[in-house]
Each structure stands twice: as C-alpha cells, then as structure tokens.
Amino acid sequence: MIPIQSKLPNTGTSIFTVMSALATEHKAINIGQGFPDFEMDQELAALASKKILQGHNQYAPMAGHIPLRESIAEKIFSLYNNQVSAADEITITPGGSYAIYTAFTTILQPGDEVIVLEPAYDCYIPNIIANGGIPVRVPLKFPDYTVDWDLVTSSITKKSKAIIINTPHNPTGTILSDDDMLTLQNILSNTNIFLISDEVYEHLVFDGKQHNSVLKYPELYNRSFVCFSFGKVYNCTGWKLGYCVAPKAYTAEFRRLHQFDAFCCFTPTQVALAEHLKKKERYLSLSSFMQEKRDFFLDKMKSSRFKLHHSSGSYFVCGTYEHISDMSSMDMAVHLTKTIGVATIPVSAFYQNGDDDKVLRFCFAKKEETLSKAAERLCQL
Ligand code: PMP
Ligand code: GLN
C-alpha cells in the first residue's frame, strides 16, 4: 500500500457516528445525534416527490436553482432587511457543513489563524486544519457559555484570517445578543478578518427572542460568509441541502471552488423548496413547535439530578451531572448508553483537547414518546 500523509492525523471518528452506532448496538434511545425522529414537513415531502415525477431530474445551475435563490433572497429581505442579490450572493450547497468547509477553503492559506469559540461544532477545527489553517481556541465562559469578547480581542494576531461564530449554538443552545453582534462588529472593524457565521438553527430561537443574523448588520456582512441548512428548517436532515450567503466578490471565489467540487446540488428538492419557502408560516412556526419539545423534555427531567442549563435555541439542551457521577463525560455517555439505554453526546467532544466540565448534550428534536422514555430512565440515576 502507498502511505497517505493524513490531512487530519489527530482526528478520530465523529462523535455523532460513534454515539449513534453505540445506540444502535445497544438498542438505546437516541437523544444524542441531532436529527428528528418524527416525520419531516409532509407537504414538502409530497412536493419533492412530485417534482421528481414531473421530470426535474437533470443538473441544476451551478449556483443553484434560480427560483430557489430568489425565494431565499425574499426571505432574507423580509426577516433581516438585507437586499442580497439572488444572482450574485447566494449559492445553494449540499448542506450547511459543505458551505462552511468551502468558505474556509475559499479564504485560508497555509498558516492562517482562525478564532474558534469552544465548545465548537465538531467540523470547524478539522475543516480549518484540512485547509492548512491554525485553529486558535477561545473558551466560552462556563457554565453559561457566554462569549468573553476581551479574550477574543486578545487572541487576534497578525495571522488572524477569520473567526467562526454559531448562533443558535450547538451544543449549548445559547444565542448571540444584539450587544454581542455589535461588540464583534466593533472588534473586527479596521481588521481584514473574515467572519464565518453558522446559522443553521436560525428558525429555532425560543422564548420570543430574535435571531440576530449577521445579515442584519451590514458592516459585519461585508466581511462574512453566512451558512444555512434546510435540514433544520423542514426537519429533513438527510436532504443535506443548504446555502451560503456572501457579498458578490466572496461568492465569486466561493463558486470558483464549488464549480469543481459539487458543481451543483440535487435538483428536485431545490425546485420543491423554491415554492415551499414562500409559505412563511412554515418556518415562522418552527420556534414554537420546537420550544414545546424543549419544555416537554425539561418538565419530564424535573426530578432528575442533572442540572440542566438554559437552552435559548437549537435542538439541544446541556446538563451537568456532577451530583451523579465523577466519570468523564465520554465515559458517562458510553455508560448510560450501555446500562440504561439512553444515548447522549459528551460535550467534551466539542473541545479540541477534550476539556471536560462533565456535561452531556441532549437532543429534544424527538417525539414526545422518545423524550418521555429517555427522561424516565435519566431520572432514575
Ligand atoms: N452546523 C451546525 C451547528 C450543525 O449542528 C450542523 C448539523 N446539523 C451543521 C452545521 C451541518 O448542517 P448540514 O447537515 O446541512 O450539513
Ligand atoms: N448536527 C448534528 C448534531 O449536532 C449531527 C450531524 C452529523 O452527524 N454530522 O448532532
């Protein structure tokens, strides 16, 4: 065999793969990996099937089905008051992670530093390293996981090329406030630092709060690649369809890579989404739908010895188990899967060096029946 010099020599298998495989092996209830166990939006499913039968089965344009980009531009204008160009600023991608990876590939040169707030969604650091970049990790403040902006400021060096943010946040369920966004804008002004903003949970913000998209802040948007995913909007994570919104010059470079990578995305779902996205109430009602699930899970967990953190958005809530065990969170997640049949995700997996505050992540984007059964078992600990 010819030896391969690995691009990711220190990276193992994704925690989601590990925990979901363990859940299957032990027939455990899976409230680990973030995917709904209920049906996706049925009207959209029917529409997509219809589009296949109607013959929308050939290549879409490289940047995406044009009416879909137009529907996205309308949505962005109505929600964030930003008139982005469907032709020049929106690119449809095979999922949100591909959009993030391609944004990194577009801007990074070997040795460039990227500021990452930890805990961080698991693809960011491998994406940076695979592109020759150097992750500069800045911890969020424990236990409320807010951003220490002074620490961010002091982490900026001459080599800083970008910072990546994620709101609503995976794994912690926190959201960035208007103040956070303005502080970030202030920190980045007069720098050449790009902003990559992961907003795949934009429609999952609870308790009447607002999603503060980078698209609402023109000065920030001018340095940004903003990444989205339809999987989280219509509960169809397996569709792997998303998009990247970026100013024209950045989009042109992004597409220079995209045209020789994916080239284009699955056509029938794009055609269906172009129509379905016009029904605003579908995505606007998502927050209250998922908030009910969060509240249902919290209620069922009331008598547990886990100390649950507050979740303001996303599919997730985190819980500290210091009163239950002093195992590491990885060991605890494996132990719970094997012994009580409940799979969760250890939050230490979202830190490059495995920092461990003894926290597990629970996904509440599940049927009530799944949440009740899992909570019942967790409450017995
Ligand atoms: N970012 C975050 C924070 C996520 O949780 C996920 C996974 N759902 C993604 C990006 C990737 O989205 P996609 O499945 O569309 O690639
Ligand atoms: N985003 C999902 C999560 O956080 C998992 C996606 C994946 O498995 N890569 O659980």
- CATH code for the domain of 250: 3.40.640.10
- Work out which ligand 1 atom sits closest to the CA atom of 34: 8
pLDDT at 159: 98
Å from CA of 154 to ligand 2 middle:
31
7 lies in some domain:
no
- Work out which ligand 2 atom sits closest to the CA atom of 363: 10
pLDDT at 183: 98
pLDDT at 374: 98
Same domain, 344 and 214: no
- pTM summary value: 0.98
Amino acid letter at 120?
A
**What whole-number distance in Å separates Cα of residue 160 and Cα of residue 105?**
15
Q: Considering 257, 279, 301, which residue would you say is the last residue of a domain?
A: 279
- Work out which ligand 1 atom sits closest to the CA atom of 315: 5
Where are any strands of DSSP class E within 205-279?
Answer: 224-229, 242-245
Same domain, 205 and 309: no
Domain range for 129 is 42-279
Number of domains in the chain: 2
Ligand 1 contacts CB of residue 198 (under 6 A): yes
pLDDT at 173: 98
Ligand 1 contacts CB of residue 229 (under 6 A): yes
The answer to whether 304 and 297 have CB atoms below 8 angstroms apart is: no
pLDDT at 13: 95
Å from CA of 326 to ligand 1 middle:
31
- Residue nearest atom 5 of ligand 1, based on CA coordinates: 170
Give every residue of the chain whose pLDDT is below 70, as ranges: none
Amino acid letter at 186?
N
Phi, psi angles (nearest 5°) of residue 221: -55, -35
315 lies in some domain:
yes
pLDDT at 206: 98
85 lies in some domain:
yes
- Residue 9 makes CB contacts below 8 A (sequence gap 6+) with none
pLDDT at 352: 95
Same domain, 172 and 34: no
Q: Considering 256, 279, 302, which residue would you say is the last residue of a domain?
A: 279
Ligand 2 contacts CB of residue 34 (under 6 A): yes
Ligand 1 contacts CB of residue 102 (under 6 A): no
Ligand 2 contacts CB of residue 33 (under 6 A): yes
pLDDT at 252: 98
pLDDT at 344: 98
**What whole-number distance in Å separates Cα of residue 175 and Cα of residue 16?**
22
Ligand 1 contacts CB of residue 96 (under 6 A): yes
Quote the radius of gyration of the chain (alpha carbons, Å): 20
pLDDT at 191: 98
- Residue nearest atom 4 of ligand 2, based on CA coordinates: 34
Same domain, 181 and 36: no
Q: Considering 234, 256, 279, which residue would you say is the last residue of a domain?
A: 279
**What whole-number distance in Å separates Cα of residue 267 and Cα of residue 94?**
11
Which of 232, 270, 318, 363 should be mutated for ligand 1, with most atoms under 8 A from CB?
232
User: Which three-class secondary structure state does DSSP give residue 115?
Assistant: strand
Amino acid letter at 336?
L
Å from CA of 241 to ligand 1 middle:
10
Same domain, 124 and 271: yes
Å from CA of 72 to ligand 1 middle:
18
- Residue nearest atom 1 of ligand 2, based on CA coordinates: 34
- Residue nearest atom 7 of ligand 2, based on CA coordinates: 16
pLDDT at 160: 98
Where are any strands of DSSP class E within 194-291?
Answer: 194-198, 224-229, 242-245
Which of 13, 15, 16 should be mutated for ligand 2, with most atoms under 8 A from CB?
16
298: left (phi over 0), alpha (psi -120 to 50) or beta: alpha
C-alpha of 42 from chain center: 23
